[in-house]
Amino acid sequence: MKLLLLLLAFCCLSLSRCEEKNVPYDYSATIECLENPNKPQYNGGIIVNPDLQNGSQGWSQMGNTKVDFTEFGGNKFVIARGRNQSYDSVSQKVYLEKGLLYTFSAWLQVSQGNSPVRAVFKKNGEYKHAGSVIAESKCWSMLKGGLTVDESGPADLYFESEDTTAEIWVDSVSLQPFTQKEWNSHHKQSINITRKGAVRIRAVNSAGEPVPNATISIVQNRLGFPFGCSAGSNILGNQAFQDWFTKRFTVTAFENEMKWYSTEVVRGKEDYSTADAMVRLFKQHGIAIRGHHIILDDPKYQLSWVTALNGPDLYKAVKRRVDSVVSRYKGQLASWDVVNENLHFSFFENKMGPKASYNVFEQAHAVDPTTTMFMNEFNTLEQPGDGVSSPAKYLQKLRELQSIRAPGNIPLGIGLESHFFSTPNIPYMRSALDTLGATGLPIWLTEVDVAAPPNVQANYFEQVLREGHAHPKVTGMVTWSGYNPKGCFRMCLTDGNFRNLPTGDVVDKLLREWGGLRGKTTGLTDADGYFEASLFHGDYDLSIAHPLTNSTASHSFKLTSDDYHPSPTVVRIGLIWEAYLHPAVEGITHTDKDFNDTETGDVIDKLLKAWTKKLQRRDVSLLHRHYDVNVINKSSTIYKELVYGPHSYT
């Protein structure tokens, strides 16, 4: 008996929660200012009277302020008036437990203009910042954040704003605790939906009868989720480093080699030789490259000749830099970090005016219109107390960039450096991603590392990577930890002999979980000839064999998350393959599984010629070819030839 037919069914995997009692996580966030606030998430969680329907119950004043419980348009809320100190506001006592992860949200408004408002938990004389938002007058803004505590005990929740002339209005407050087990279950649920799909394979013989106990082997060749590491020039000519790196990663960013201070040390004398060599190396290995960066706004890292320029001379130098680096690598990079760390620093704005970064984005887009242009900033995820780069501040700058009137919309991306210090605030990280994810723009963690004592560094690093990978709005991650003989930035993954350090072991552990490092899935078909597996998105090789007949067949496919549709579609190409295929499987023509009547024309002729040529070369990779083939009449000669002949392939 020969294996002449394979059936693959691809569909998104839908798994129920492990335990019904687990509280599911609400990834939603609202970034528009609304006339009325939404209802509190999780019905308020442990907050008493979260929607202020019961007046002052559970609430009191913080500091020397007048607190009014009022109603407008059927909506009840509380107002803190007559504020003299930043912390003068409304407060509620809560009990926080060590080991729990808290997600917080509230809807806020100010009486005039717009002002940043923070949510703070005061506990044992310490102040835990849970998040902030730029509150506006005449509409309600959602603040979303989170926190953990080092020890259990009572705490005072309150809101603060440096603008003491503004009243703070509060409504729809929520504080939801999760156990670590629940938090992990959210990861699993999200991964099953956004990172994985189910593959269904069926083996049948020439008579269409199922073949049980056929051996199935599926090997992942490439991760679908972009995951990478920074690299420096020391990778050039270092085969051991290259072997270690290319085995693991699908994307990189150059640590310094593409930066202005590396390519034009002397004004007018550009040298891209090192960057060019690195681009060639990584392209050779199919590793995508993030363009890091066009310019940096930090005055500390400006070349002395750049610092000395002013006015038109500086403008010309910046324009020349943008044109030079972007045109050189146009169309070769996955993305550009355009004006790096533009929220914390303002070197070019101070010298060239408030629209300096605006102009650089516009110019870069004009040179390379199809590549995504990223903001790239630190502390947006890492430090809830850093108001300069809060999600709200990030969104404010992003809206400025979205207002640029350029030919075609500028494809923008959200870059989050993710340089964590000590214990990561994972609930805040998730909430910040929720808020930024509401934009619908691609989000990358671009420079992930953790500055922490060696005994906890790897654990914290793993927490951050897991949270980023599991979040449905994150589309890629790069760690800032490539080996450098002069010392890594904050952490290395390997030693000088490219043996893993504990942080490198974390990377390998996660890659294996995600199907990387050529992860292999094997099994046998059941009595009906079926084999099913849940796989991470990526590129795969599939082989099927039967020990009694020595028959084998193989196929390569790509499993992605694009264009999900629950109903599989069918392509029939000879008696060799029959495929039920998820529309997200790239390279597969979509047809009606019932083969209803339609016109075929020249397209079918092209398909038959290509199919026959492939079979003559004993190659069944025809399924990778893109043909706009619709369904055909079952009684037609073309249909019979397409399905049943020729039979020269064995």
Q: In whole angstroms, what is the distance from residue 463 CA to residue 156 CA?
A: 28
Nearest to 259 by CA among 280, 230, 281, 283: 230
Could you say which DSSP state residue 48 is in? S
> What phi, psi does 645 have (nearest 5°)?
-150, 170
Reduce the DSSP state of residue 188 to 3 states and report it: helix
Could you tell me if residue 445 is left (phi over 0), alpha (psi between -120 and 50 degrees) or otherwise beta?
Answer: beta
Residue environment code for 421-449, b if the CB has 16+ CB neighbours within 10 A, otherwise e? eeebbbbbbbbbbbbbbbbebbbbbbbbb
Q: Could you please report the per-residue DSSP string of 446-501?
A: EEEEEE--HHHHHHHHHHHHHHHHH-TTEEEEEES----TT--SS--SB-TT--B-
Q: In whole angstroms, what is the distance from residue 645 CA to residue 575 CA?
A: 7
The single-letter code of the amino acid at 486 is K
Q: In whole angstroms, what is the distance from residue 336 CA to residue 376 CA?
A: 9
The catalytic residue positions are 341, 447
Q: In whole angstroms, what is the distance from residue 166 CA to residue 402 CA?
A: 29
Cβ contact 143:134 at 8 Å: no
Please list the residues that pair with 377 across neighbouring strands. Answer: 416
Reduce the DSSP state of residue 120 to 3 states and report it: strand
**In 496-611, which ranges are E strands?**
520-524, 530-536, 538-546, 551-559, 569-573, 577-581
Angle (deg, nearest 10), helices 454-470 and 426-437: 30
Q: In whole angstroms, what is the distance from residue 110 CA to residue 162 CA?
A: 12
The CA-based angle 27-29-31, given to 5 degrees, is 155
Place of tokens 């067949």: 553
